[in-house]
Amino acid sequence: MRIASRLYGAALAFSLCLPLAAQGAEAARKTAPTPLSAYELYRIYGDRTWTWDTGGGRFFEEGRRFVAWVNDKGKQSFAEGKWVVDDLGQLCMRATWTNAEGAARASTCFGHRKIGKTIYQRRQPNGNWYVFRHPSVRQDDEFRKLVSLDTVSAKAHELKQILLNQEITRKGG
């Protein structure tokens, strides 16, 4: 067999393998988790309230303000701050939390990845990944806890006023 025939045969075999390699790479891209973009996160959280068992947090689009309120076993707290998103799939709530004992700054972040149309979430940095939203939203998806209604701002404002009045009373005002 001549060298030209061998090269032609090798080139033919290689060209037949390319579509298979491309299919494999495409399949890997479809199954590899990719971060949600800042825009996608903004669309999910903007002007929504994330309801929790003990309260919730409101993500205002205007000024990217974040307000939260919780009542954990009778201990009430409220938060005021900002929320930020990035193209690495991260949502962070940076706020000052206040209760009857005082105030402290905290930053809580969640990572978001998608495989196909399924979105996964975890608390950063070391939380476990779980399904945040299935392609067809299910009853128990965390995504369903994001609601349009602002259920926290009034409660946070009320608690802020109560704590302010208590502080004034303690100082003898």
Give me 90's structure tokens.
Answer: 């991260």
Ordered per-residue pLDDT tens for the chain, 173 residues: 555 454 444 444 444 444 544 555 555 556 789 999 999 999 999 999 999 999 999 999 999 999 999 999 999 999 999 999 999 999 999 999 999 999 999 999 999 999 999 999 999 999 999 999 999 999 999 999 999 999 999 999 999 999 988 877 777 65
**Beta bridge partner(s), residue 78:** 69, 98
Residue 90, number of CB atoms within 10 A of its CB: 17
